[in-house]
Each structure stands twice: as C-alpha cells, then as structure tokens.
Amino acid sequence: MEDSRSESFYKNEALRYCQEAYEKQTEGFFDEAVKLYQQSIALYPTAEAHTFLGWAYSLQGRYDDAIRECHKAIEIDPSFGNPYNDIGAYLIEKGELDEAIAWLEKAKSATRYESYCFPHYNLGRIWEQKGDWGKAVNSYRAALREKPDYTLAQRALTRIQAMLN
C-alpha cells in the first residue's frame, strides 16, 4: 500500500514540475523550464516530460539534445505521436529533410496523438523545400482536413496556389 502512495506522490510532484516548466517555457524562460523538466523526469519519467524537455532544448537551438529526449519519450511510450513529429521537425531545422520524412510518417500513424495536422504540415514544408508542389499541396490540405483553422497550413497552401497560378 505504501509503495503505491509513494509512487502516486512522485507522479503528482513530477506533474507539478512539468506544468511549472511549461509555464516558464511559454513565458520565454527556457533555462528555468529545462531545469524543471529535468526535475520532473528525475521524480517520474514520462513520455510527455521528455518530449517537452526536447521542445525546450529546440527553442535553445539544441536540436541534437531535443532529438535525444524524443527518443527517450518513444522508449517510454511508443504510441505517443508528439515525439515522432518533433524529431521530424527538428530534422527539418537541421536541413535533414529525407531523414525527417520517416519520422513524420510515424507520427501520422501514432495511436495516441491529438494533433495529426502537425506531421501533415511538416511534410508539406519538406515537399515545398524540395519543389514537389503537388505533394506539398496535398500535405497542407491534409493538415487542414485535420484542423480546418490551422493558419500556418492555410497560409502555406495559399502561397503555393498563388505561385502556381
């Protein structure tokens, strides 16, 4: 009985640290956010905390560290879609477009994911950079099917359509 109570305590404390880290991150305090995510993970590692730590690292330009955190998240919960998409996005930022595609495809098929629009949008970014306008348009349209009010995808689609006319 005591073990489940102590596990519950650590899990709740880890969640509290993770929420505080997210708040610091959204306020632009990335160093503080990183420390808080690390404290959360030390108490009770979750796929979410590793993914969000990776996101904080990416905002500091630390893409390799961000990718490592996403791999840790996938080890904890392979069904969680966010780290797959995030790895793809970080690889795009590093200019490794071909490597990013497989990760974004995995994100599209993840069973625990609320934002399927993101991997579609990121694939659109890749196809656009490669000059494959048809695939880019299809990817942006897929993102908009998932989230009709996704402004970035709508702008990208409009930009390509204007360029092609």
Tokens read off for 91: 């690889």
Cα(14)–Cα(16) distance, rounded to whole angstroms?
A: 5
Cα(67)–Cα(19) distance, rounded to whole angstroms?
A: 21
Mean residue pLDDT of the chain comes to: 95
Are 49 and 40 in contact, with CB atoms under 8 Å apart? yes
**Quick one: pLDDT band at residue 3, thresholds 50, 70, 90?**
low
Give pLDDT, residue 18: 95
Residue 1 clears pLDDT 50, i.e. is over it: no
Give pLDDT, residue 7: 84
Residue 4 clears pLDDT 70, i.e. is over it: no
User: Could you give all domains of the chain from N- to C-terminal order, each with its CATH number?
Assistant: 1-112 (1.25.40.10), 115-165 (no CATH)
Q: CA torsion, points 87, 91, 93, 97, in degrees to nearest 10?
A: -130
pTM (two decimals): 0.91
pLDDT of 87-134, one tens digit each? Answer: 999 999 999 999 999 999 999 999 999 899 999 999 999 999 999 999
pLDDT of 28-86, one tens digit each? Answer: 999 999 999 999 999 999 999 999 999 999 999 999 999 999 999 999 999 999 999 99
